[in-house]
């Protein structure tokens, strides 16, 4: 006899990337922005008064929703905010899926999806990406999923599917399934799916301030969709899911768009320098539209290079799972961090010969 539901007893918890206690590590394992957030963020936090903390915060993060509506040309009721995008994913899966309503996605993808589905006993329909990482539109649409989650650019691959392909999928499953576009990394890509929100009734675009706005520690995500979709999600949202500090800081970050955009460009420039450097050392790096690079490692192999880097206080991401165990996922750092990374890898490869 267990205190817990059988499915919770049976399942394994999601394993997040390593978060070291010390700051003397080059931390390029969980795709944070290497540049600090806008100075307006700290100013907004300092401007929060005792009174704001004594009282409950705005229940719907209205200041942020209004700022986002203005910036993205939508209504405030087309915006919902969450404690990191992870909370939004939980809300969306809870609202759309259950034991008879599967969750669909192309694989490999963000590993949290299947864990969230498992918590509510929803089956999953994973369709492998083809070798060119194009969206398997027909194969996805052929499943009985009632919610599709498409990460674009994808994680862990960094690959990008044309927005028109996402629109095709949305049209094929219209009336039956919602298509959630997880744009955690869209700030580093050449395009995004925001325009689909007005074109397709069943598309929701999910964003986070964790990557593009350098605020992973704040925990702030948001989504944009038609008002009926957002109204439905509000039913499963906790009443005060974001605190006063987070609402103030996130609103300041979003409003200082120019600052964030400058960091995106620096990351893109560094990414485009790092890819050829990795290739020169023998890595097979997949072209990335994101702030990280997935690359098949040369000899002495991904696990040896991962551990060798860790010994040198450089953290990258390595999974022992089939299909990924020969690869490293490397977050693009500052120019200085990337130089240290390249030098360390060169030393590990030389020692392994």
Ligand X SMILES: Cc1ncc(COP(=O)(O)O)c(C=O)c1O
Question: DSSP string covering 95-139, please?
Answer: HH-BTTB-EEEEES--THHHHHHHHTT--EEEEE--TT----HHH
Cβ closer to ligand X: 146 or 211?
A: 211
Under the criterion CB under 6 A, does residue 32 sit at the interface with ligand X?
Answer: no
CA atoms of 78 and 92, how far apart (whole Å): 15
Under the criterion CB under 6 A, does residue 308 sit at the interface with ligand X?
Answer: no
What mask of x and - would describe binding to ligand X in positions 147 to 166, judged by CB under 6 A?
----x---x-----------
Q: Please report how close the Cβ of residue 244 comes to ligand X at its closest, in angstroms.
A: 19
Within positions 63 to 92, which residues make up the interface with ligand X, using CB under 6 A?
Answer: 84-86
Under the criterion CB under 6 A, does residue 106 sit at the interface with ligand X?
Answer: no
Neighbouring-strand partners of residue 224: 79, 205
What mask of x and - would describe binding to ligand X in positions 216 to 255, judged by CB under 6 A?
x----x----------------------------------
Among 202, 208, 226, 251, binds ligand X (CB under 6 A): 208
Secondary structure tally for the chain: helices H, strands E? 14, 12
Q: Please report how close the Cβ of residue 243 comes to ligand X at its closest, in angstroms.
A: 15
Among 118, 182, 243, 256, binds ligand X (CB under 6 A): 182
CB 74, CB 197: distance < 8 Å? yes
Q: What number of residues does the chain have?
A: 353
Which of 173, 139, 138, 170 is closest to 152 using CA atoms?
A: 170
Q: Please report how close the Cβ of residue 207 comes to ligand X at its closest, in angstroms.
A: 8
User: In which element (H, E) is residue 250 found?
Assistant: helix 244-255
Residues at the interface with ligand X (CB under 6 A): 31, 84-86, 110, 151, 155, 182, 184, 208, 210, 216, 221
């Amino acid at each position: 006899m267990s205190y817990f539901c059988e499915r919770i007893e049976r399942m394994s918890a999601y394993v997040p990337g390593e978060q070291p206690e010390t700051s003397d590590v080059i931390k390029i394992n969980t795709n944070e922005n290497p540049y600090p957030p806008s100075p307006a963020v700290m100013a907004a936090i300092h401007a929060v008064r005792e009174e704001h903390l004594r009282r409950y915060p705005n229940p719907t993060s209205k200041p942020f929703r209004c700022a986002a509506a203005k910036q993205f040309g939508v209504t405030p009721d087309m915006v919902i905010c969450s404690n990191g995008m992870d909370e939004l994913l939980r809300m969306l899966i809870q609202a759309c899926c259950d034991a008879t309503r599967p969750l669909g996605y192309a694989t490999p993808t963000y590993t949290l999806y299947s864990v969230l589905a498992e918590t509510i006993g929803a089956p999953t329909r994973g369709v492998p990406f083809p070798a060119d990482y194009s969206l398997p539109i027909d194969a996805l649409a052929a499943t009985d999923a009632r919610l599709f989650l498409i990460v674009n650019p994808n994680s862990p691959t960094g690959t990008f599917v044309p927005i028109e392909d996402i629109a095709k999928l949305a049209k094929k499953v219209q009336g039956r399934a919602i298509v959630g576009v997880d744009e955690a990394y869209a700030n580093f890509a050449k395009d995004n799916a925001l325009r689909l929100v007005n074109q397709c009734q069943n598309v929701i675009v999910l964003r986070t301030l964790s990557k593009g706005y350098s605020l992973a520690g704040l925990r702030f995500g948001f989504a944009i969709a038609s008002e009926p979709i957002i109204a439905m999600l509000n039913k499963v949202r906790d009443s005060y899911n974001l605190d006063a500090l987070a609402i103030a800081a996130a609103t300041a970050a979003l409003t200082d768009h120019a600052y964030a955009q400058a960091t995106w460009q620096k990351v893109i420039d560094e990414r485009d320098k790092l890819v050829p450097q990795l290739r020169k050392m023998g890595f097979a790096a997949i072209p990335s539209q994101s702030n990280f690079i997935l690359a098949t490692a040369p000899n002495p192999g991904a696990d040896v290079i991962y551990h060798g880097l860790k010994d040198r206080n450089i953290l990258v991401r390595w999974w022992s799972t089939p299909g990924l165990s020969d690869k490293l996922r490397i977050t693009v750092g500052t120019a200085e961090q990337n130089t240290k990374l390249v030098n360390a890898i060169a030393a590990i490869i030389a020692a392994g010969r």
